Amino acid sequence: MPQTNHTITHDSDHHRYLLAVDGQQAGVAEYRDLQPRLREFFHTVIDPAHRGKGLSHPLIEAALADAVDSGYRIVPSCSAVEHFISKNPEYADHVAGRP
């Protein structure tokens, strides 16, 4: 798989994590805070031009790591986030389930 130059930023004003490749937006992981310390990830998408490059993994990993580091429990209502957690069991203890 080719190396890509990507960055991930947290746009807290719009409740999303943004993935950029070479300065161009290539993906987003959106969330909503349901209660204090409960964050639901409900939508993750990689732009069609960037699919198949393994970019959803670093986007979801960064979003979940930031949420956990900030003291949030995770509600994975997005299928991509659910799949990521099933493959990365270190996040399982941080899952709160569906609201």
**Which CATH number belongs to the domain containing residue 32 in this structure?**
3.40.630.30
> Is 64 within the bounds of a domain?
yes
| Segment 77-90 mean pLDDT | 95
Q: Give the confidence band of 1 by pLDDT, cuts at 50, 70, 90.
A: very low
The answer to whether 11 touches 51, Cβ cutoff 8 Å, is no
Please report the pLDDT score of residue 25 as a whole number.
96
Q: How many independent structural domains does the chain possess? A: 1
Nearest to 75 by CA among 44, 15, 34: 34
**Domain containing 46: what range?**
6-94
> Is 78 within the bounds of a domain?
yes
| Segment 24-29 mean pLDDT | 97
Q: Tell me, what amino acid is at 61?
A: E
Query: pTM score, two decimals?
Result: 0.91
> Is 1 within the bounds of a domain?
no
